[in-house]
Structure 1
Amino acid sequence: MPHADPILVEVIHNYLLSAAREMQRNLIRTSYSTIIYEIHDFGLGIYDDQCNLLAEAPGLAVFTRGNDYGLRKVVEFLGEDNLHPGDLILLNYPYWSSAHILDVLAVSPIFHEEELMGFTAVKQHWLDLAQKDPGYCLDTTDVHQEGLILPCSKIYERGVLNRQVLNLIRFNTRMPDRVIGDMHAQISSCRTGERRVQDLVARFGIDTYREAVTEILDHGERLAQAGLAKLPKGTWTAHDFLDDDGIDTDRLVKMQATVTVSEREMVVDWSGSDSAVKGPINLPIGSTMGISALVFKAITTPDSPANAGNFRPLKVIAPEGCVMHAQPPAPTFTLWTSLLAPEVITKALAQGMPDVIPACSGGDVFDVMGVGIHPDTGQYWLEATNEGVGFGAHAGGDGETGIMHLSEPGCRNNPIEVLETKAPWLIEAYAIRQDSGGTGQHRGGLGVLRSYRFLADAACLTLVKKTRTRPWGMAGGGDGVQGEVIVRPGTDREKVTGAVYEHMQPDEVLVNCSGGGGGWGDPVRRDPEAVLEDVRMEYVSPEAARSEYRVAIDLERMEVDEAATKALREGDSENGTL
């Protein structure tokens, strides 16, 4: 685009980014469910007429790249000739929508004088679509157990509400008021973006708009290529394991990625992963593309807004029928595979980029969901939250403590005040897990724990699938402590587990404990004053300070015992451990 006015291109680009943020604000302010307005379990964006992302707003980042794939499936299935002004399409067929059935993609085509010029799309979590279990299904074996499928269904056609589709949804959910309310918020968000793009084109003209779109995408590619050029070149392979598939609880599920970084592209090849499994952890190809794009974005263009141009140098390979490319009717409900996948990619990259890539994070998304009949209303209630994890340490410093897993940047946890207001449970503890971060010259971030006391009969489920293997350390750093879930602690029915769907009675307790990140470097090389500060903050116990870091702490004065520390570390040096 040699004659494009660069200032005008920036004006149009920033207008699109502002429009996407307005879509986000509209969604948050009008949705009914905390999973949307508190947790931000959504992904949205504005696209050109070729389904290329132009602008997005913060949310669940992996959705946005998967939305590209789902949007293309909408156009392919319906045909461009069957898209009209005022249409609003709903899609949740997992193998097209790039998520599970409860993550519904809403698509609004944008027209200017009968000419298709793009789309807005919003994917968000719906609370219930008549899946076999309220909340989440942890043991489905077929996609048809996982809820109502909407295969590119027009909820609005030419601006007219399709009441047949509306009633189909209303009568296939346990929580119709909240689900329908959230759906209308989602539609309103799409319409907001649609209007803003139409206003933009009316102001600058369709030709100028299309020229600007071309330059926005080309510039995004140039930025990605510049970031790629700075990375070491090579091929590296890594793997990790999920605890099980939800059905065969004795079998670890392998995920393997071979990552090749060359001058002009990065290839992520999942060919070494296990075949699709019986339980609901299989991943649609669009989700695999989204996870791979998330890591690629983080290492090439982390500081610029995302658009489809950023991902032109990325190639993703996943053979059909493997756990990373599910085929119908393979169950996909829990999406556990997507939570570990970014860790596998970074584990491979760490072999060639040890000074750039951190150690493994807490390794999972520690969601807790409660569902039941509320004693005050007689209606279904459902609330959820996700705990922060410890991030892995890196060559430049310690890992962060208690932040959202790297598969869900842009999301938040649910405030305690909201959880207790909306649901019959009491949060009795919310704390950092001492000694959960991997030891090292740079310590891994710590996980957290949260304790839930139930005040009424309810079902409680957790989504934790990395309890049998620990978050790995780097450069001699220790592994982090893996997460766990403790059901009814201190009773004769105590159970220590990971993913669980448990029926809880009044006064019973569940404790959710997230994992700590891996450490980086030899822990005996950690500055004793940093170890002392960790003990002061109760991140590290005095016992671990002595046994792992070889630092003796005078607990009365709360200072380093320099003589004892010197003796401990000199002893290690004489024994060849330093």
Structure 2
Amino acid sequence: MTASAAQKARDGVRTAILSSRMESIARKMQNTLFRTARSGILNTAHDFSCVILTADCRFLAAAESLPIHTLIGPDLMCQAVKKHHPVLKRGDCFLHNSPYEGNSHAADHCLIVPVVDDEGILRFFVLAKAHQADCGNSRPSTYLGDVVDVYQEGALIFSATKIQSDYQNNDDIIRMCKARIRVPEQWWGDYLASLGSVRIGERELLALGREVGWDVLEDYAEAWFDYSEKKMVDAIGRLKSGRRVIHAAHDPFPGVPDGIPVKVDVTVDALAGKITVDLRDNPDCQPCGLNLTEGTSVSAAMVGIYNGIIDHGVPANAGSFRRIEVLVRENCCVGIPRHPFSCSVATTNLADRVSNPVQRAIAEISAGHGMAETGPIMAPGMGVISGKDPRNHDEPFVNQVHIGVTGGAGTAVTDGFLSIIHAGNAGMCRIDCIEVDELHHPIFIKARYLVPDTEGAGTFRGAPSAYTELGPIDGCTMQVLYTADGTINVAEGTRGGGKGGPVRAMKRELDGSLTKLPPCYGVTLKPGELVVSYSAGGGGYGSPLERDPARVLHDLMEGWISAERARSVYGLVTTGSLVDGTLAVDQAATRSLRASLRQTQ
């Protein structure tokens, strides 16, 4: 080995070691927040993200974080901190949740700490973003899709607001939050958890800088970015070059009775190692809470790209971002919002209508890559519940639950991720434990199961829908607010794959009858009344007649598909019986039936 080759190997080892150290710091931040947060949306559902950025606001490292939170938004938010506070000192901490300056939506409170070395030089930023149970909205939900503007939304908006100086709280801001938030002590606990997270990140980075030297860390960051960019170039180089324009649409909704059409223009230049997504030819901001922020518009497109390249060896950071261009415009519902349009639901519904077409476009351009569409959300099974808890002296409670939601899309190599929840969180959020929810809240969960024949059929199928029934315990009245998409425009398949099942919402009355509910609604439940929720199924990838018969048999035996669907859609012929355990694939008859079905397609 030559001297230069040996040095290159040593540099590579050092980069790998420091990358691991950075990720371990982000994980310490994550574990702190997860273990100390008070609200269920954080300590059960895991709806938060922890990241590290360079001093010039480039995304460097993250723990197990939500992509819609972390890909580009933290860069924009740290830039806002530097804009409004040119002089940053050790001990500063900033509260930021402005949707007009890079954040996702007002419910995601971000604490941002500048990491300043012993000489007073800014070296890094650490950021913890945590979805709040309540953020001061006009109604007890952090997702208000039916509001006409930010004033009707009512959320407290903080723009790079200094909440700590010299490690001491700004009590004016603390009092403001406690006065406006319905669960002030819960918010206070979550604030302290987030604060502990960023302060631990600051402490660990200062220790690392003192240990290895700040110049070494700066060199590492540039080397890591360069390595990540090369990995992205290689991944894009395995795709075919091409362009696809995919049209999607959000369902009709309050304020947008015709829904919101979305056009996504995707160009893959495999030779140049670049992917461009153009979102500019879309409607202006709309009089509802579905508008995206700049952070969620760009990140949503990037989610579709990282999903579509199907290469988990590509680090998601500012280096690999160099090979992505997302074109957005001001005052666009999937671009840069103009005040006072509301962005209350900016992390989910319309964002998924950007991510899903991007991953579909890559599938259409390059067989063996891309994905079908992940199921739309949010059915009541992941609604925001609120009321007064009779078990706790009628103390108010507000929280989002993740009781019943699935939606994973079929890919070129796998079936849909059953508990992905939605495209933008990539499975990082978690499905609630029924027993834990019933301990934390005065809630009764009567049923939760998968719904047969709701998967998007395919060579690799989408995830089936989830059914849930939930309501209040005796002595309690409970409100459930939700903002569902996918009741009309379901998850699409790709390359011959089928559509996923629709979202549905109903109320079970005291007499047991069912009343259909609209897609965006706040239903008040008395004891004995229940809300019934069907989450969306995910789209399928490839023809179902090419699916491995053993996989079809498995789904049939699990009860995820019916015998009729197995035969008519997948062309499966079986022998024996499920009852006595002799059910098996009749290989010859299956080949014959599939050949016949192909001729009729």
TM-score > 0.5 by shorter chain: yes
Residues 1:297 and 2:306 are matched in the alignment: yes
Report the CA distance shift for 1:354/1:273 in structure 2 as closer, same or farther (over 3 A): farther
Q: Give the match for residue 157 of structure 1.
A: 165
Which of the residues 141, 145, 148 maps onto 1:141?
148
CA drift of 1:95 comes to 1.3
User: Which range is displaced more, 87-96 or 60-69?
Assistant: 60-69
Count of aligned pairs between the two proteins: 574
Residues 1:349 and 2:356 are matched in the alignment: no
Q: Give the match for residue 281 of structure 1.
A: 290
CA drift of 1:213 comes to 1.9
Residues 1:370 and 2:385 are matched in the alignment: yes
User: Once superposed, which parts of structure 1, at least 4 consecutive aligned residues long, lie more than 6 Å away?
Assistant: 1-4
SS across alignment from 2:217: helix
User: Which range is displaced more, 294-303 or 466-475?
Assistant: 294-303
Q: Is the 8 A contact 1:402 1:446 kept in 2?
A: no
SS across alignment from 2:140: coil
Q: Give the match for residue 258 of structure 1.
A: 265
CA distance in 2, matches of 1:208, 1:355: 40
Q: Is the 8 A contact 2:469 2:533 kept in 1?
A: yes
1:238-253 mapped onto 2 (5 Å cutoff): 238-248=246-256, 250-253=257-260
Q: Give the match for residue 131 of structure 1.
A: 137
Q: Is the 8 A contact 1:356 1:394 kept in 2?
A: yes
CA drift of 1:385 comes to 2.4
Residues 1:477 and 2:497 are matched in the alignment: yes
SS across alignment from 1:430: strand
CA distance in 2, matches of 1:533, 1:435: 14
Which of the residues 329, 335, 342 maps onto 2:340?
329
Q: Give the match for residue 407 of structure 1.
A: 424
1:213-232 mapped onto 2 (5 Å cutoff): 213-232=221-240
Q: Is the 8 A contact 1:550 1:565 kept in 2?
A: no
Q: Is the 8 A contact 1:437 1:446 kept in 2?
A: yes
Report the CA distance shift for 1:530/1:122 in structure 2 as closer, same or farther (over 3 A): closer
Q: Give the match for residue 539 of structure 1.
A: 560
Q: Deviations over 1:297-349 (max 9, x none)?
A: 33455234432112111111112111112111111112221133210211222
Q: Give the match for residue 509 of structure 1.
A: 530
Q: Is the 8 A contact 1:362 1:480 kept in 2?
A: yes
Which of the residues 113, 118, 124 maps onto 1:118?
124
What is the root-mean-square deviation of aligned Cα atoms in Å?
2.5
SS across alignment from 1:144: helix
CA distance in 1, matches of 2:189, 2:460: 47
User: Which range is displaced more, 103-112 or 137-146?
Assistant: 137-146
Report the CA distance shift for 1:309/1:440 in structure 2 as closer, same or farther (over 3 A): closer
Give ranges in structure 1 of 5+ residues lacking alignment. none
CA distance in 2, matches of 1:165, 1:572: 70
1:39-58 mapped onto 2 (5 Å cutoff): 39-58=45-64
CA distance in 2, matches of 1:383, 1:61: 22
CA distance in 1, matches of 2:545, 2:11: 57
CA distance in 2, matches of 1:561, 1:163: 68
Q: Give the match for residue 572 of structure 1.
A: 596
CA drift of 1:208 comes to 2.0
Residues 1:192 and 2:200 are matched in the alignment: yes
CA distance in 2, matches of 1:201, 1:516: 47
Which amino acid in the other structure matches residue 143 of structure 1?
Answer: V
User: Which range is displaced more, 211-220 or 189-198?
Assistant: 211-220
SS across alignment from 1:150: coil
CA distance in 2, matches of 1:61, 1:197: 23
Q: Is the 8 A contact 2:360 2:494 kept in 1?
A: no
CA drift of 1:246 comes to 2.9
Q: Deviations over 1:377-430 (max 9, x none)?
A: 211112322334232334435334343322112111221111100111111111
Q: Deviations over 1:164-198 (max 9, x none)?
A: 11111111111110111111111111110111111
Q: Give the match for residue 516 of structure 2.
A: 495
Give ranges in structure 2 of 5+ residues lacking alignment. none
CA distance in 1, matches of 2:395, 2:521: 24
CA distance in 2, matches of 1:203, 1:487: 60
SS across alignment from 2:126: strand
1:556-567 mapped onto 2 (5 Å cutoff): 559=583
Q: Is the 8 A contact 2:454 2:465 kept in 1?
A: yes
Which amino acid in the other structure matches residue 334 of structure 1?
Answer: V
SS across alignment from 2:390: coil
Which amino acid in the other structure matches residue 498 of structure 1?
Answer: P
Residues 1:440 and 2:458 are matched in the alignment: yes
CA drift of 1:567 comes to 11
**Identity rate, percent:** 26
Q: Is the 8 A contact 1:236 1:258 kept in 2?
A: yes
CA drift of 1:28 comes to 0.9
User: Which range is displaced more, 4-13 or 40-49?
Assistant: 4-13
Which of the residues 312, 315, 318 maps onto 1:308?
318
Report the CA distance shift for 1:393/1:299 in structure 2 as closer, same or farther (over 3 A): closer
CA distance in 2, matches of 1:59, 1:384: 18
Report the CA distance shift for 1:91/1:563 in structure 2 as closer, same or farther (over 3 A): closer
1:421-436 mapped onto 2 (5 Å cutoff): 421-436=439-454
CA drift of 1:561 comes to 8.6
Q: Is the 8 A contact 1:359 1:519 kept in 2?
A: yes
Which of the residues 59, 71, 81 maps onto 2:78?
71
CA distance in 2, matches of 1:208, 1:397: 41
Q: Give the match for residue 420 of structure 1.
A: 438
User: Which range is displaced more, 318-327 or 515-524?
Assistant: 515-524
Q: Is the 8 A contact 1:372 1:457 kept in 2?
A: yes
CA drift of 1:525 comes to 4.6
Report the CA distance shift for 1:261/1:522 in structure 2 as closer, same or farther (over 3 A): closer
Report the CA distance shift for 1:238/1:537 in structure 2 as closer, same or farther (over 3 A): same
Residues 1:86 and 2:91 are matched in the alignment: yes
SS across alignment from 2:219: helix
CA drift of 1:282 comes to 0.2
Report the CA distance shift for 1:25/1:547 in structure 2 as closer, same or farther (over 3 A): same
Q: Give the match for residue 485 of structure 2.
A: 465
SS across alignment from 1:276: coil
CA drift of 1:559 comes to 3.2
SS across alignment from 1:40: coil
CA distance in 2, matches of 1:179, 1:571: 60
SS across alignment from 1:189: helix
